[in-house]
Each structure stands twice: as C-alpha cells, then as structure tokens.
Amino acid sequence: MHLGSALRLEIRKGRPIAPFIGIFDAFSATIAAKHSPNLFYSGFGFAASQYGLPDIGYIAWSDMVQAAWRIRQILPQHKLLVDVDDGYVDASVACHVSAQLERMGVAMIMLEDQKRPRRCGHYDGKILLPLDEYMEKLELVLAQRTDLCVLARTDASGDEIFRRIERISGTDVDVIMVDGVRSIETLREVRKITDKPLLFNQIAGGKSPRVTLSELREAGANLALYSTPCLFAAQAAIDESLAAIFSDDGRLPDADSAIGVVECSDLLKQNMSHHLPPSSSFLNA
C-alpha cells in the first residue's frame, strides 16, 4: 500500500497518530526515525541546512524533490510529510511537484495559502493569496493526486481563519492546519466548524503555545507536528561542542562522554541495510 493511502487509513480510524518530527537533512532524519515513524521535511530546516538562509521563499522545487528522494531511499518505511510552500508559485508547478513526490512514495504534502514573498508561519508580515486563487491551486492538486495525502495550510488570522477553513473543508483535502495559532482556544473554535482532521504545529519560540499531546487531542487536533526541534538542537549542540573544544586549548572531549566515529557509523549502517545484502563486510565489521 502507498504510504499516503496508509496514512489516510490511519487518520480515518481515529486512533492517536505519532507526531510528525521536523527534519532538515538525511542525517537528522536518521536520528528522528528512531523516535517516530512520521517525519516532516521542514522548509525552515531545508533553507537553513541547504542554503544557509532564512525560510522566506528561496527554496527551488527541484532541490526539495531531490532532498525528499534521499530520505525515501534510506527510510522507505517512514511516512514523510513534505513542505512545498505555496506550490512554488504556479498551479502547474504545484501539480508537477506533488505528482513527483507521490510517485516516490511521499505520504503527504503541505500546501500553504501565502503569497510571495513568503514567510515562516510564525513570522510577522505574512501576505495571503486571494482565497479563490489558493482554492484553484488546491483543487488542481487534489484532482490529479491518487494516493498522496494533501494538507491544506492557512496562515490567516482573526475571522479570516474561519472563512478559509469553511471553504477548504468543502474540498477532498485530507488534513487542515492553521499555522501560527496563538491560543489553543482557536483550535477549539476551528474544530466546531469543520469535520476535517486538524494538525497542530509547535515550534520553539514561535507564536503557538507549548501544549501536550493530550491537550491537543482534547482540543480537537488529530495530528501533531514538531517542525524544527532537530535543527534547533543541532545549532545548540554544535555551538556548545565547538566552544568546549576551544576552551580547552583544542582538546577533543573524552571519547567516553561523547558521540564518536563508532557510534555515528553504527547509526548510518542502518541505512545501508536497505541496499546491501546481510553478508556485507562493512555491515558486519
């Protein structure tokens, strides 16, 4: 079964679904895969790790497709949600990208209603597409998909949230997300006007409150997303590690108290097992 169809079935059963964990490259995906079967290729994380730039619209669709392909090669059993921003401006490009991602086994895409120049969902200064323009793009993507789940994301605020949720709910979209929600009460109000599954996104330092999975389920969320924990943890750990090295005249930390070449290699060998026979000398080293 295509992983998109499998995810859709899980959602329809109404059982608790493991959170989607935001990753920023194949290495972070490998680590995150130990903690959840659901991964999210974050546009914020991708722009940071691949370009060294903020998430304000620099991503080329071909780069994101290639990056998703690399994750699919090493973690074929994990369900991958891919951030495709606004579909890269044009509706025909949005359809082309979603078709490619579906063919490689991506489970779900996130399509937002922002207008260029876009912003991270937790930044100020976001500009929305006219609703009719977004709906046309969304409907075209939905019409040409077969198995792929589609998450419709709105970056609206105030009463505009509810107007857009009502329109989106009239489509065959699988999941809806309101990004940058400032209060859990907003989620409860959205739940009252739609029977579509809802996803709630949490990002450290963002506009949304820090809440537990139990609190989210109580408020009506069906899925949870942690979009950037790996990226922020990497930033802190790298900075701390290098500061420690140079505070001790360049001495590396004690091997017994840190990740070393053996631990890192053991982690990466797991990915090779998808491609090499068990008799591989490297795997058995």
Residue appearing with tokens 């949490």: 202
Which residues, in sequence order, are CB contacts of 242 under 8 Å at separation 6+? none
CA distance 206 to 36: 22
Tell me, rounded to whole angstroms, the distance of Cα 99 from its chain centroid.
Answer: 18
Q: In this structure, how many other beta carbons lie within 10 angstroms of the beta carbon of residue 11?
A: 19
- Mean pLDDT of the region 117-139: 85
At 275 the pLDDT is: 56
CATH 3.20.20.60 for domain 3-234, yes or no, is yes
At 282 the pLDDT is: 38
The amino acid sitting at 198 is L
Are 108 and 175 contacting, i.e. CB atoms less than 8 angstroms apart? yes
pLDDT(72) > 90: yes
Cis? peptide before 117, omega within 30° of 0: yes
In the structure, what pLDDT confidence band is assigned to residue 188 with cuts at 50, 70 and 90?
Answer: very high
Residue ranges of domains in the chain: 3-234, 254-285
Q: In this structure, how many other beta carbons lie within 10 angstroms of the beta carbon of residue 209?
A: 14
Which residues, in sequence order, are CB contacts of 42 under 8 Å at separation 6+? 22, 23, 24, 83, 227, 228, 231
Query: Pick from 109, 143, 107, 95: which is nearest to 1 by CA?
Result: 107
- Mean pLDDT of the region 134-139: 98
The model's pLDDT over 93-106, given as tens digits with 9 standing for 90+, comes to 999 999 999 999 99
Q: Write the DSSP symbol of residue 114.
A: B
pLDDT(276) > 70: no
**How many angstroms separate the Cα of 101 from the Cα of each of 54, 67, 195?**
24, 11, 27
**Token duo for residue 129:** 């597409």
Count of alpha carbons within 13 angstroms of residue 126, beta-carbon side: 21
Exposure string of 60-70, with b = 16+ CB inside 10 Å and e = fewer, is ebeebbebbee
The model's pLDDT over 197-256, given as tens digits with 9 standing for 90+, comes to 999 999 888 888 889 999 999 999 999 999 999 999 999 999 999 998 999 888 888 766
Q: Write the DSSP symbol of residue 207.
A: S
